[in-house]
Amino acid sequence: MARLQRIAHLGIPQHIIQRGNNRQACFACDHDMAFYASLLHEYSKKFSVSLHAWVFMTNHVHLLASPYTISGISNMMQSVGRRYVRYFNSEYRRSGTLWEGRFKSSLVQSEAYLLQCQRYIELNPVRAGMVSEPAQYVWSSYQCHALGKVIKMSTPHEEYLALGDSGSARQSVYRDLFRTHVDGELIKDIRMAVNKGLALGDERFKDEIERLYNRRVRSAKMGRPRLRLEVK
């Protein structure tokens, strides 16, 4: 089946996943993650991409980012990926590929869905059983949003900024969002959207994107279409 063409709409956030090849580890220690973070900071600025949320897991990365040039996210991910592979291969005396093909991405409707997707990303270490609370995991954006940690590569989204009139107010409201986990059905929707290159949003949002790009952003219906018999 042919891959759906990527959609990059200026200012619309994208949920991005980059996995290690065959689910192999792409980070072996904190130094690896710190180097990857430095590359993200460098190339997000170079290619005009705002990074809103992230988590670095052992064998994959989640990002939530908004592009301000059409090829911004693609250029950023390619540049980060290539430099990181060179670093990783040199550091661990290995050769060959590290990443599982091209990265996956989905458009995310800001209203109602952006903070849900951001919570999904930052709760990854909790769902994986690595920590009991998201604040315990250093390599995500949770400490930035919930605790006020200053991280250079972070650009808070407008939906986050609207949570309060001050940093402390926003952090308090944000922590309250994590008193419950992301709904199971929403988790399925988020995963399907990013793995299939679809859109995460309401029907109006999907209608607008399909009209603009003449490309489906909903899951294709299963089964073959019915043949219509012409009666003479």
Per-residue pLDDT tens digits for 198-219: 999 999 999 999 999 999 999 8
Is the model's pLDDT at 225 over the cut of 60?
no
Q: Write down the pLDDT at residue 8.
A: 87
- What confidence category does residue 2 fall into, taking pLDDT thresholds of 50, 70 and 90? low
- pLDDT computed for residue 219 by the predictor: 85
Both tokens of residue 171? 């952090």
7 against 116, higher pLDDT: 116
| Residue of higher predicted confidence among 4 and 49 | 49
Q: How far apart are CA 78 and CA 215, in angstroms?
A: 24
Reply yes or no on whether the pLDDT at 224 is more than 70: no
pLDDT at residue 3 in the model: 64
CA atoms of 193 and 191, how far apart (whole Å): 5
Q: Which residue has the higher pLDDT, 101 or 158?
A: 158
Q: Average pLDDT for residues 11-38, to the nearest whole number? A: 96
Report the C-alpha gap between 53 and 144 in whole angstroms.
9
Residues 138-172 pLDDT 10s: 999 999 999 999 999 999 999 999 999 999 999 99
* pLDDT, mean over the chain: 93
Q: Note the pTM of the prediction, 2 decimals.
A: 0.92
Given pLDDT bands bounded at 50, 70 and 90, which one contains residue 229? very low
How sure is the predictor about 222, in pLDDT bands with cuts at 50, 70 and 90?
Answer: low
Crossing angle, helix 30-46 and helix 72-91, to 10 degrees? 150
Alpha-carbon distances, residue 90 vs 4, 10, 35, 54, 96 (angstroms)? 34, 36, 13, 25, 11
Give the architecture (CATH level 2) of 14-213. 2-Layer Sandwich (3.30)
- Is 180's pLDDT higher than 90? no
Residue 221 pLDDT class (50, 70, 90 cuts): low
**The 3-state secondary structure of the chain, one letter per residue:** CCCCCCCCCCCCCEEEEEEEHHHCCCCCCHHHHHHHHHHHHHHHHHCCEEEEEEEECCCEEEEEEEECCCCHHHHHHHHHHHHHHHHHHHHCCCCCCCECCCCEEEEECHHHHHHHHHHHHHCHHHHCCCCCCHHHCCCECHHHHHHCCCCCCECCCHHHHCCCCCHHHHHHHHHHHCCCCCCHHHHHHHHHHHHHCCEECCHHHHHHHHHHHCCCCCCCCCCCCCCCCCCC
